[in-house]
């Protein structure tokens, strides 16, 4: 009979440890798991810097009984702080070497923030916020230096199409039924994510130029269209080819239920005709900027693009919105991306404006007339 291979253990390479008041916490930011532990856990984890068998730990810590050490190892494995040689590694841990120059600071922030629960029940959210005001008044969104010398400014120019579009951009949460025009969708994609020009910079290669700026002109953000109700396009998920201005079908079919799942139960958004998932190909920015601060650059770029999208949609007379409450893993899975080299960051969406409804009421997820809104799958 062949001898069974000995199981070895090794510390995960993606651990962060910190104190939360008196509690010592260990987190694996790749798997999203962690635990409160006694300081001895640090000794155990340090011991397993390389693959080692249980017996080696017994020899290293003879003051502890083998059964207590075995139990401790089991717990560390359960919380994915230790890896076992006979188990497959978590896919995010496998892909993580791509982030080596940004970890742990940016990786800890990015990966522990994935798949967070979101309160989509507005009544409960309202009660929660009211509770906050009992604790502390809501902060005002502006600042004044009352004692500083004041210079009065002329009013901002507001005539013309540009400022009309800027000032009329709003977040819409109600949409009219009916198909989004293909020409409008193409304008939205092209003016927001499309490559406007290429600039050759020998010996590096070509840099893309878009309507939004990009750190190092590396343009890490990709756009994926989730089409539910668009003229001339079957419902499904498409990648937007930014250089050739075309859609590449990745997955057929789309329902309101699925769209609602993508935005963690915010059913008001699932009435929109289309979403655009913005992902980041982190490796583009990581290639040049090999320090964690560059993660900020990527997030900021997604913001630029989303505002452009909202402004273009407003200009077209459509109803745009954006949300960061999204089911990261589900979206990454449906896009077929690993969440590490490329992962979703932001969701924008668009629909037709409801007729005869002004923005103030249409920005509310609930119809103020009390009519029950139709929500179909
Ligand atoms: C990063 C970001 C995330 C947002 N997430 C949500 C969201 O999850 N759900 C939602 O209904 N609105 C969301 N919004 C929209 C804001 O609620 C909205 O911008 C804000 O109420 C101001 O209204 P306005 O956009 O019409 O000016 C988000 C906006 C931003 C910039």
Mutate to test the pocket of ligand 1, among 321, 328, 350, 366 (most ligand atoms within 8 A of CB): 321
48/80 Cα distance (integer angstroms): 13
Distances from the Cα of 191 to the Cα of 118, 241, 290, 307, angstroms = 31, 13, 30, 12
Q: Which domain holds residue 75?
A: 9-92
Q: Which of 69, 92, 115 is the last residue of a domain?
A: 92
323/365 Cα distance (integer angstroms): 14
Q: Is residue 179 in some structural domain? A: yes
Do 296 and 188 sit in the same domain of this protein?
yes
Q: Rounded to the nearest whole angstrom, what is the distance from the C-alpha of residue 323 to the centroid of ligand 1?
A: 6
What pLDDT score does 365 carry? 76
Q: Rounded to the nearest whole angstrom, what is the distance from the C-alpha of residue 41 to the centroid of ligand 1?
A: 42
Q: Rounded to the nearest whole angstrom, what is the distance from the C-alpha of residue 117 to the centroid of ligand 1?
A: 17
Do 190 and 336 sit in the same domain of this protein?
yes
Ligand 1, atom 23, lies closest to the CA of 171
Do 226 and 83 sit in the same domain of this protein?
no
3-state secondary structure of 130: helix
Contact 176, 355 (CB under 8 A): yes
> Residue 249: which CATH number?
3.40.109.10
Q: Is residue 85 in some structural domain? A: yes
Q: Is residue 368 in some structural domain? A: no
218/76 Cα distance (integer angstroms): 40
> Largest alpha-carbon pair distance within the chain?
90
Ligand 1, atom 4, lies closest to the CA of 323
How many domains would you assign to the chain?
A: 2
Q: Which of 65, 92, 119 is the last residue of a domain?
A: 92
The mean of the pLDDT values for the chain is 94
What pLDDT score does 369 carry? 60
Q: Rounded to the nearest whole angstrom, what is the distance from the C-alpha of residue 322 to the centroid of ligand 1?
A: 6
Do 65 and 190 sit in the same domain of this protein?
no
Q: Which two tokens stand for residue 84?
A: 């076992």
Q: Per-residue pLDDT tens for 237-256?
A: 999 999 999 999 999 999 99
Do 279 and 181 sit in the same domain of this protein?
yes
Ligand 1, atom 13, lies closest to the CA of 323
Q: Per-residue pLDDT tens for 105-156?
A: 999 999 999 998 888 888 899 999 999 999 999 999 999 999 999 999 999 9
Ligand 1 pocket list (CB less than 6 A):
170-171, 173, 266, 322-325, 363
Residues in the chain: 377
Q: Which of 64, 92, 120 is the last residue of a domain?
A: 92
Q: Is residue 239 in some structural domain? A: yes
Q: Is residue 305 in some structural domain? A: yes
Q: CA triplet 227, 229, 230: central angle to 5 degrees? A: 75
What pLDDT score does 371 carry? 55
The pLDDT averaged over each successive group of 10 residues in the chain (377 residues) is 84 97 97 94 98 97 97 97 96 94 97 91 90 95 97 96 96 95 98 98 97 98 98 98 98 97 95 97 98 98 98 98 97 97 98 90 72 45
The model scores a pTM over 0.85? yes
Q: Is residue 148 in some structural domain? A: no
Mutate to test the pocket of ligand 1, among 322, 326, 327, 344 (most ligand atoms within 8 A of CB): 322
What pLDDT score does 374 carry? 47
Do 319 and 195 sit in the same domain of this protein?
yes
What pLDDT score does 361 carry? 83
What is the bridge-based pairing of β-strands 221-227 and 236-241? Answer: antiparallel
Q: Is residue 106 in some structural domain? A: no
Q: Is residue 253 in some structural domain? A: yes
């Amino acid at each position: 009979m062949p001898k069974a291979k000995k199981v070895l253990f090794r510390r995960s390479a993606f651990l962060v440890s910190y104190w939360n008041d008196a509690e010592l916490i260990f987190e694996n930011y790749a798997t999203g798991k962690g635990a409160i532990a006694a300081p001895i856990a640090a000794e155990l984890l340090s011991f397993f810097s390389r693959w080692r068998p249980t017996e080696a730990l017994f020899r290293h810590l003879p003051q502890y009984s083998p059964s207590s050490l075995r139990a401790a190892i089991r717990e560390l494995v359960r919380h994915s702080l230790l890896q076992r040689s006979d188990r497959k590694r978590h896919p995010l841990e496998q892909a993580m070497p791509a982030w080596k120059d940004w970890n742990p600071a940016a990786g800890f922030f990015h990966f522990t923030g994935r798949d967070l629960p979101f309160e989509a029940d507005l009544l409960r959210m309202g009660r929660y916020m009211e509770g906050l005001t009992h604790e502390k008044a809501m902060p005002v969104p502006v600042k004044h230096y009352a004692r500083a010398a004041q210079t009065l400014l002329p009013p901002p120019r507001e005539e013309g199409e540009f400022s009309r579009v800027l000032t009329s951009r709003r977040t819409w949460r109600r949409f009219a039924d009916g198909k989004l025009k293909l020409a409008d969708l193409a304008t939205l994609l092209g003016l927001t994510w499309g490559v406007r020009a290429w600039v050759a910079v020998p010996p590096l290669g070509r840099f893309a130029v878009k309507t939004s700026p990009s750190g190092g002109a590396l343009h890490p953000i990709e756009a994926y269209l989730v089409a539910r109700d668009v003229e001339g396009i079957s419902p499904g998920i498409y990648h937007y080819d930014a250089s050739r201005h075309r859609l590449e079908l990745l997955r057929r079919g789309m329902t309101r239920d699925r769209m609602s799942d993508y935005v963690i139960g915010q059913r008001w958004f699932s009435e929109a005709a289309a979403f655009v998932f913005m992902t980041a190909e982190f490796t583009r920015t990581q290639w040049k900027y090999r320090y964690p601060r560059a993660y900020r650059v990527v997030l900021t770029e997604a913001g630029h693009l989303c505002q452009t999208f909202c402004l273009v949609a407003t200009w077209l007379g459509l109803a745009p919105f954006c949300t960061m409450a999204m089911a990261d893993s589900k979206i990454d899975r449906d896009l077929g991306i690993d969440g590490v080299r490329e992962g979703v960051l932001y969701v924008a969406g668009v629909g037709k404006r409801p007729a005869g409804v002004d923005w103030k009421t249409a920005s509310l997820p609930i119809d103020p007339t009390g009519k029950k809104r139709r929500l179909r799958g």
